[in-house]
Structure 1
Amino acid sequence: MVIAKRQRRPQFVVCGDGPLAFRVSFALSTRYQGDVTVILPDAGSKHGAQMAALDHVTVVESLRPDTAAFRRARLDDADAVALLDQDDAGNIETALLVNELKPGVRLVVRFFDDELGAGIADHLPNCDVLSASKIAAPPLVALALGEARHLEVPGIDLVVGKPSQLPGRSLFTLAALRGEDSVMLPDDDEGLDRRIAIGVASPDPAPATPLRRPNGRVWYFVRQNLNKYVWYALAVLALVIVAGTTLVALTAPAHWMTALYQVVLETLAGADPGTDVPPVTRGVQVVVTVISVAVIPLLTAALVDAVVRARLAAAVSGPGSPMSGHVVVVGLGDVGTRVLATLLERGIPAVAVNVRDDGSRGIPFAREHGVPVVIGDGRRTDVLKAAQIGTARAVMAMTSDDVANIGISIAADSVDRDPAHGRLRRVLRLFDEDFARRVQGLIPRSAPRSASALASPAFAASVMGPDVLDTVPFRDRVLLVAEVPMHARCELEHRPARDVDVPGQVRLLAVRRPEKGFTTDVFRPATTNPLQHNHHLIVIATRTGLERLRARTARPEE
């Protein structure tokens, strides 16, 4: 009797405590069927308790990931290590320690600083550096703009979205909903809804909506900072000057310009009595002097108040001129800063809102790039008005507080909106996806999304191997965009390109060839083109499909 050998579950070590660590641990223990050991400072924290409750997940409590903690986590047996703390310096130190304890083990490290992360990856073997906020920002921005999302595929500018977002560019249906499952489909599959498609980006994208200043900075300052009492005082003075000029010009032998000159000076500079003028002129002088004594102090006080308020507004760097077609980003943490950077790369005007000027990394970034920053609570309508949300195309609530983000979305409804600018898009950052669906039911015109949910598939896939380029979330599934090298004597060598496609699992997008310097010279190659062992296949696949493709392109065991 032959007993089948039980397949070994892959072993992973995750360092970190937060939503990203939880989601990556969940993905590795369920979708990738691995055993996960999590090292975190407090096992009783919110996410620590959630991770401890997962099957095939063990929690090791340690103030920092040191040698003792990695021994308890059985680093020697680990196939890969993911460092997911929001601390670039701490992640560098831990990565060096892991490489010292187990040289060559697969490392996936979370970094915010791209240049620093790339430098670290160059000096550590088998190491990938990813930014959770950088991964999450493009789909969040695409959602706010109502556009298709660009995929991170070097050499090809691919976009993915609803077919209606890809007019004339859709190559094939990427996935659609059949019952409760998302599946990859052939081109001619019919009778399905909620499709997403993939296509080549337009070579001449429509220019971003320009920053519009229809009335100029001076008139905008006047409208924003002069209250109604200033206008009342100016109206009274104007009426007095017009009436006085008319009476003097009619009763005294003077040209009307001379009369205007005389009345203006008497109004603003004080009385200058004259004995050789007609009685009517004397009466005008008295009335003008009395009214000016009463009105000018009021006007002076109102102007001083306007200047003070303008200086306060300048201190928080609010927009100094009217804007329209911009995006209001509330919250300048890691995610908000990346979202702001993505908008700037796209040429989309933006206004940033942060609850306080507390040294958040996004505030100096915004000011360095000329983005107006409004300091205040985004749940207050006056703060949103200062960000000119009434003429904005979208508001993105990117704070780390779910309740605050919901409040921002609700407050946006309280601000009067210019009908000429259409409906305001609202993107909310929320942690729990079930909660997000309920919020969307409560606030139908909002689009709640979890930044960690958008980023975690890329981290989990990178833990499994370095070939994943991007991810495409669809319902509760994730499709992986990967570049898979073909090895000599693999199953697919000399086979036609059509053999790469597996219905519901793998679709071939492009082939990179070494004789072309690995530039993407074949996009959607002819189905009869033969594949060579040194080709690189760019595919979009499910997790299962990618694992099978790796097996089909791997060098056979001797």
Structure 2
Amino acid sequence: MVVCGDDGLARRLASELQDVYRERVTLVVPTARAPQPVVGRRAVARLGLSARLPVGRQPRGVDERALRVVEAAEPEEEVLVGAGVPGAAALALVYEDDETNLRAALVARRLNPRLRLVIRLYNRRLGQHLEALLDQAAVVAEPGADLRELDASTTVLSDADTAAPALAASAVAGTSKIVQADGLLLRAVERTPPGRGRVAEPGLCTLALLSATTGDPAGTEGSERSGDRGPQLLPDDRSVAAATGRGIVALEAVSRAGPTAPLRRGAATLPVASLFSRRLRWSLTGIVAVVAALAVASWLTTGDHPLHAAYITLLDIFAINDPAVTEPPERKVLQILAGFVGLLLLPVLVAAALEGLGAFRTASALRRVPRALSGHVVLLGLGKIGTRVLARLREMEVPVVCVESDPEARGVALARRLRVPVVLGDATQEGVLESARVHRADVLLALTSSDTTNLESTLYARAVRSDLRVVMRLYEDDFATAVYRTLRTAHPDALTRSRSVTHLSAPAFASAMMGRRILGAVPVERRVLLFAALEVAGHPQLEGRTVAESFRPGAWRVIALDTSAPEDRRPDLSAAAPEGEPAPAAGLVWELHPGYVLQARDRVVLAATRRGLAELLGRHAATAPGP
């Protein structure tokens, strides 16, 4: 396996392949890579943590003798040849720059048509076209061969798309976690037991048992406190029945996702409330009421038709009616009052015109934070990850206020289109978080690319509001765990979550390099549960066994069966139908009979742990023992 990258995802992926899948890995990194500090000294001192920072090029947990490191400024052709791409089984291109990954993928496909490619791209549309192009190039290079026989598939993934659902679900008050692949919708729900001594409803199946302290703000999630060994993934029925009083993660529903609904764009239709101020609206309402009263008074005093009386009143207001010199006194008084109302109407109309013009001129500008806003999510950082999380939160109609120091950041344009308030400034500076109304917020999402900014912003927000719910993005998963536990100890009444994007996304990239694309990933506290599609043929752990016999607690569980004929199956179960083509018929059966015997021709959907999936997919994995 060859991994090329310039950030933490490359090192995490190399560690995943070597440690979990037992593969030989060549890691290509930039020349003379400078160490990236995890956190600033001030934040370290405030937390009471050690100031020793993990640095170096070697991934954590990877034996240096089993990992070959190649240093190169760019993944050029000679570099890829030197890294062994012509004879490699798979290549992962995970540079942060899409153009670099694109150029290297084209060169790699020419060097090795049988190479399995996994490419990191932020541009979704470009990724779809690139997958088709490179797969077609593999078929052309091997005339008469089938792409599935070559196993030279191309998979385009985005760490932002992989991690965004987990980050958004951690921030939203509630228990539902939705994992949406291109074609499938997986819904996992955290369910708390109805009372002590009772077991929560399992739904379709129980995916995980939560740690006993996960609902306790003063507890340590996933610790061994009070005999709690952390979450238990894919437990058997006996363990679920015995775990009374503990929450579970249940598979609630799985369905085929339809076309992605367009995001609401408030700038497309400007409501009256955004055009005119409250004071102006009340002024216009008062004038309309006075005009109606004058029209009714004219109708009652003159005996005219109501429409004629209203018409005469409007003429008097606009000063285009003849003076009521010969009219009765009542008519003269009403005309004078209508003239005064006309004088009052003129400045109100001018103010309305100015406010309306100003509203249209600022429609493309950033929206200010409403003064009365409360119960919202404060999102720090509008980079790749922050942009995807912002889109997710707005799809769920969650009120958001963004904080970004760079006015040209990637997500500022999206926030402008969605009419989401944005505060421009450094979140660590005094007054910036106050401008975002953090003291009235429910959740703080710190998703900038700087660990120092995320941690210092969290500590400052905690000083403003000690019970604020916090979700932090931190670079190193071990450091994220230490920060999480320290904050939970320092603020026992607040809920804290720390997440590492590389930790959430690396399993998807690693599984794709093994030839199977992950359909979804659900974070369970500090662990990850994966969903993947797998052909039964060639797997003695599954073939010839019943659904109940194939279930291995803590490793994998068959949750669905693809009933479509092998010749009609899509190579990628999670892929949506191309534009202009009808969606494939639903061929997945989710409520399987425990006695069904899995055949070699079957394709199943598995829920698996990282090591369980590695045992099934790994080329060096030993055959699983019988049940």
TM-score, normalised by the number of residues in structure 1: 0.71
Q: Residues of 1 paired with 2:459 and 2:396: CA distance?
A: 27
Aligned to 2:313: none
Letter in 2 for 1:111: L
Work out whether residues 155 and 519 of structure 1, in 8 Å CA contact, stay in contact via their aligned partners in 2. no
One-letter amino acid of the counterpart of residue 392, structure 1: A
Specify which of 496, 504, 521 is matched with residue 546 of structure 2. 496
Q: Secondary structure at the match of 1:137?
A: helix
1:134 to 161, 173, 184: 161
Question: What does residue range 413-428 of structure 1 map to in structure 2 within 5 Å?
Answer: 413-415=462-464, 423-428=467-472
Provide, for residues 249-278 of structure 1, a one-character-per-residue CA deviation record: whole Å limited to 9, x for no partner: xxxxxxxxxxxxxxxxxxxxxxxxxxxxxx
- Gapped regions of structure 1 (runs ≥ 5): 1-11, 204-210, 223-307, 418-422, 553-558
How far apart in 2 are the matches of 1:88 and 1:528? 48
Deviation, 1:503, is 2.6
Residue 92 to residue 545, structure 1, CA distance change in 2 (3 Å): same
For residue 432 of structure 1, what is the amino acid of its counterpart? E
Q: Give the counterpart of 1:542 among 596, 603, 609.
A: 609
**C-alpha displacement of 1:320:** 4.8
**Pair 370,315 (structure 1): closer, same or farther in 2 beyond 3 Å:** closer
Partner of residue 101 from structure 1, selected from 82, 98, 111: 111
The answer (yes or no) to whether the contact 1:174–1:198 under 8 Å persists in 2 is yes
Letter of the structure 2 residue corresponding to residue 34 of structure 1: E
- Give the match for residue 27 of structure 1: 16
- The residue aligned with 2:532 is 482
**Identity, % of aligned positions:** 33
Which of 33, 42, 47 is the equivalent residue of 2:31?
A: 42
1:525 to 579, 588, 592: 592
CA–CA distance in 2 between the matches of 1:314 and 1:416?
33
* Alignment of structure 1 residues 102-121 onto 2, 5 Å: 102-121=112-131
Report the equivalent of 1:342: 392
Contact 1:110 1:131 in 2 (8 A): yes
C-alpha distance in 1, partners of 2:71/2:618?
A: 37
Choose from 415, 436, 440 the match for 1:387. Answer: 436
TM-score by length of 2: 0.63
Residue 178 of structure 2 aligns with an amino acid whose one-letter code is H
Distance 1:101 1:399 in 2: 38
- Residue identity matched to 1:371: V
Matching residue's letter, 1:396:
L
Q: Confirm or deny: 8 A CA contact 1:155 1:520 kept in the other structure.
A: no
Inter-partner Cα distance in structure 2 for 1:221 and 1:57: 69
The one-letter code of the counterpart of 1:51 is: Q
| Residue of structure 1 equivalent to 2:326 | none
Instruction: Compute the displacement of 1:518 (Å).
Output: 5.9
**Of 397, 405, 411, the match for 1:362:** 411
Task: Give the Å deviation of 1:551.
Answer: 8.9
CA distance in 2 between counterparts of 1:57 and 1:128 reads 24
| Bigger RCO (CA 8 Å, 6+ sep) | 2
Deviation per CA, 1:86-127: give whole Å up to 9, x if none: 111111110000001111201110011111111101111211
Provide the residue aligned with 2:422 in structure 1: 373
1:133 deviates by 1.0
Aligned-residue Cα RMSD (Å) equals 4.3
Amino acid at match of 1:27: E
Task: Note if 1:437 corresponds to 2:465.
Answer: no
* Aligned residue among 478, 497, 520 for 1:447: 497
Larger Rg: 1
Q: Which residue of 2 aligns with 1:143?
A: 170
1:351 pairs, out of 375, 398, 401, with 401
1:63 is displaced (CA, Å) by 1.4
Q: Residue deviations 1:510-547, cap 9 Å, x none? A: 11210696625421311123434443211112344335
Q: Which residue of 2 aligns with 1:158?
A: 186
Residues 1:318 and 2:368 aligned together: yes
Q: Report the alpha carbon displacement of residue 448 of structure 1 after superposing the two structures with TM.
A: 1.7
Which of residues 476, 497, 507 in structure 1 aligns to 2:557?
507
Q: Is the 8 A contact 2:507 2:610 kept in 1?
A: no
DSSP-derived class of the 2:406 partner: coil
Q: Are the counterparts in 1 of residues 192 and 247 from structure 2 also a CA contact under 8 Å? A: no
Counterpart contact for 1:330–1:396, Cα < 8 Å = yes
Aligned equivalents of 2:475 and 2:539: distance in 1? Answer: 46
**Following TM superposition, by how much is the alpha carbon of 1:441 offset from its aligned partner in structure 2, in angstroms?**
3.3
Question: Quick check: 1:381–1:414 contact (8 Å CA) kept in 2?
Answer: no
Residues 203-247 of structure 1: CA distance to partner in whole angstroms, max 9, x if unpaired? 9xxxxxxx9xxxx7777899xxxxxxxxxxxxxxxxxxxxxxxxx
Structure 1 counterpart of 2:75? 65
SS at match of 1:82: strand
Counterpart code for 1:341? A
